[in-house]
Amino acid sequence: MNEEQNKTTEVRETNQQQGDTNVRRQSVSTSSSVDGGVIMRRVVYYLGGVIIALLALRVILLLLGASQTSAFVDFIYVVSGLFAWPFHGIFNYQPSYGASTFEISSIVAIIVYALLTVGIGRLFTLGKARDQA
């Protein structure tokens, strides 16, 4: 995936005479900057990736029947629960923490957040040519 970068190259030449010899020195400086839309797309992809990773950890911990008495497990359940909450009414079951459970609503949440991440990320580079975005 090529991303649009504005590159600036500056060349400086100096000529000096040292005795009978001419010395020519050249210094090259190159700097580049990335388009703001590309940076925003990267931020959206990063945030979406974090949310999806939390939900994936939730699914794995629920499948393994991880107990909420562990601080790490409780943290993952609480934080990922915020993102999984809008999808809990889709299927008729109650998650039971500490027992092995396959939470289908979290899988649906992962799919929805992945689609939203890609969709919102593409909005930032919508006006760019395909090879630039």
For the question of whether the overall pTM of this predicted structure is more than 0.85, the answer is no
State the DSSP string of 54-106: HHHHHHHHHHHT--TTSHHHHHHHHHHHHHHGGGTTSSS----TTS----HHH
Identify the three-state secondary structure at position 21.
strand
pLDDT tens sequence across 69-111: 999 999 999 999 999 999 988 877 776 667 788 889 999 999 9
